[in-house]
């Protein structure tokens, strides 16, 4: 049962005690996280990994030594 006290929702069981928190990752949320995973991976691969190549632009390049 959810009661609202001053605009804040409280989880209270039948005996009037607060329920224990279920933790950050609940089993009911796993499918949502699985849908989110491909987008996060693509964001990381195409936006963050290329940033390591920017370091080469600021290196003192000597053609005879290489990178």
Residue with tokens 């009037």: 16
| pLDDT tens-digit series, residues 8-53 | 556 666 666 666 666 666 788 889 999 999 999 999 999 988 888 8
pLDDT of 42-59, one tens digit each? 999 999 888 888 877 788
Please tell me whether the overall predicted TM-score, pTM, comes out greater than 0.75 for this model: no
Any idea where the domains of the chain sit in the sequence? 23-67
The answer to whether residues 43 and 37 touch, using CB atoms and an 8 Å cutoff, is no
Coil, strand or helix at 21:
coil
DSSP track, 1-67:
-EEEETTEEEEB-TTSPBPPP--SS-GGGHHHHHHHHHHHHHHIIIIIGGGGGHHHHTS--BTTTB-
For residue 34, list its beta bridge partners: none
């Amino acid at each position: 049962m959810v009661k609202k006290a001053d605009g804040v929702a409280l989880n209270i069981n039948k005996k009037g005690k607060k329920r224990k928190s279920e933790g950050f990752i609940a089993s009911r949320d796993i499918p949502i996280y699985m849908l989110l995973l491909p987008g996060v991976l693509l964001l990381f691969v195409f936006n963050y990994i290329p940033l390591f190549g920017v370091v080469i632009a600021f290196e003192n390049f000597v053609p005879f030594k290489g990178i």
